[in-house]
Amino acid sequence: MGPEGLQMSALFPFADNYVFNMDLGGKSGNVNQQNWTVVDQNALWSVYEEHPEWFLLNATDNVLQKLVGRRDLTENIDALYAEATTRVGKFQLNFGIRGERTSTEAKFTRMLSKEEMALAEKYATPEEIATGKFNTGTVEGVRFQYNYGNRDVRKENYENLFLSGGLKYDFTKNLRFQLSFSQAILRPDYGNLSATVNYPDYYPTSLWIPNPKLKPEKTTKFYAGFQWYLKPSGIFEISAYRLDIKGLQIGNMQISKEQAEAQLGYSLQDAMKGLLEESEVVIDEETLESDEVYKSMRDMVYRSTINAAGTRTVYGITVRYDQQLTFLPGPLKGLGIFGSFTTASLRNAEIDEEKIGRASKSANGGIKYRYGRFNIQLRGSWTDDALRSITRPYPGRKWTLNEYQYVKARFVVDLSGGWKLNKNLELVFSIRNLTQEPYIRYSNVPDRMNWYSVPDTIWNLSLRGKY
């Protein structure tokens, strides 16, 4: 708050050595001329140590963060696995089976909407209102809105049986055909199972509902490929796959009031009446049904992460090449090159939200070198544009032209290697994002950039041992 006790006039210590200078892909405009400053966090802490009376405790937000940000979930997985392999002539066969039993116990915090708070206050006594429990700008109001931190519990159980198998057939010593299938699941994100009923994007006409009943995605993958082994040391491979996804998980979807109640395990209408009783508000059923605030609650939009009905299918093709150039003379024998390209397509998506996070093309490649105890590898990885999020307009939200958010194609260069000290110890290093490739997001069309972030290069040095 500064020495005058006014936040607007408080002077923050700024970092002297920070210069905002971004190319932004040649589209920076006048961004670099704004002379934006960055607070020096270390210097600000020193100010707090010298003048703690200049600072005001933000108790309301502190309590809010503790109540909203909590996650509490227990997941137990029991599994049994068996595999058999055999050879029949030129055929190599294998078959596997895995059984799993999963049990979850998810806790979530219920939040009262602004309409619920307003309705309770409307019929409360002056003494009740004076307590501040209906005012979300106070600690007591926040605690009341979030049910004083009390959480509901939902328990779910499911069982799965996964099969896998395949065959390999050698046409020649250098040419092999492989055919296989496998089943797997993608378990729900814990944040979707256990969280707090809350407003998404701060819009009070919409409530985000956790989904403790969310099921995992079940996948079945079919693979077919040819591997051509190159003499003296290398491989060229071309393969295709089909991936069937059952129960695809889709986030931020609008659900009905009945779906929300099924996920939470209680009736929203009964909970509203219980709130009134808890607040010692006396109101008859007929008056409640005709109340305008109560009626407006029926227009509330509920959003959650749900499983899509039916099965979605992804088709993909991969081409891979990897060869050690041992035919070169002298020290060049340790040189190698590698690369791969994959294209994938989700064919039967019913809505665009199902395509979020799916890049249609990706590639990687590079060179590697080994000499004695030393090895090094330079790798480049490219990922095509991918849909990141979709913002659908709903009651209380203004329409925006940025509803489709994309992550722009990105090429990342990594460097890694190691030095083998002896047969058990190796000094290993890696440098991620060597060229500091930025993350760029755009909305609707590639030229409409709305996010530009430059991540630092990550250096890692470690000592790896084996025994």
pLDDT tens for each residue of 31-47: 777 777 788 889 999 99
359-374 pLDDT per residue, tens: 999 999 999 999 999 9
Q: Which of 331, 400, 410, 396 is nearest to 363 (CA)?
A: 410
* % of the chain surpassing 90 pLDDT: 49
pLDDT confidence of residue 194: 86
According to DSSP, the residues that pair with 269 across neighbouring strands are none
State residue 44 phi and psi, 5-degree precision: -65, -40
Question: What's the start-to-end Cα distance of the chain, in Å?
Answer: 59
pLDDT band at 396 (very low <50, low <70, confident <90, very high): low
pLDDT of 168: 96
Rounded Cα distance between 289 and 195, Å, is 30
pLDDT of residue 400: 61
Q: Residue 51: pLDDT band by 50, 70, 90 thresholds?
A: very high
Confidence band, pLDDT 50/70/90 cuts, at residue 410? very high
pLDDT for 187: 92
Position 427 confidence tier, pLDDT thresholds 50, 70, 90: very high
Cβ atoms < 10 Å from Cβ of 336: 19
pLDDT for position 401: 67
Give how far Cα 178 sits from Cα of 170, 171, 229, 256, 285, Å.
9, 11, 13, 47, 69
pLDDT at 12 over 80: yes
Would the pLDDT of 201 be above 70? Answer: no
Q: Give the model's pLDDT for residue 239.
A: 97
Q: Which of 20, 21, 11, 24 is nearest to 38 (CA)?
A: 20
Mean pLDDT within 287-294? 74
Band the pLDDT of 264: cuts 50, 70, 90. Answer: confident
Share of the chain above pLDDT 70, in %: 92
pLDDT digits (tens, 9 = 90+) for 168-180: 999 998 999 999 9
Kindly tell me if the per-residue pLDDT of 406 is higher than 90.
yes
pLDDT at 101 over 90: yes
Higher pLDDT, 124 or 61: 61
Summarize pLDDT for 53-64 with one digit per residue, the tens: 999 888 899 998
- What is the arithmetic mean of pLDDT over 426-449? 91
Please state the φ and ψ torsions of residue 76, each to the nearest 5 degrees.
-115, 135
Where residue 281 falls among pLDDT bands split at 50, 70, 90? low
pLDDT value at residue 229: 94
Check pLDDT > 90 for residue 75: yes
273 pLDDT band (50/70/90 cuts)?
confident
- Length of the chain in terms of residues written: 467
User: Is the per-residue pLDDT at 385 higher than 90?
Assistant: yes
Please report the beta strands in 150-233, taking only residues with DSSP state E, as ranges in sequence order. 151-170, 175-186, 206-208, 217-230
Q: Is the pLDDT of residue 23 over 80?
A: no
Q: What is the pLDDT of residues 146-196, one digit of tens each?
A: 888 888 898 999 999 999 999 999 999 899 999 999 999 999 988 888 888
* Over residues 238-262, mean pLDDT: 92
The model's pLDDT over 297-351, given as tens digits with 9 standing for 90+, comes to 777 788 899 999 999 999 999 999 999 999 899 889 999 999 999 999 998 888 9
**390 pLDDT tier (thresholds 50, 70, 90):** confident
Residues 419, 416: Cα–Cα separation, whole Å:
11
pLDDT of residue 170: 92
Predicted local confidence at residue 150, as pLDDT: 86
How far are the Cα atoms of 24, 316, 367, 461 from residue 313, in angstroms, in the given order?
37, 10, 34, 41
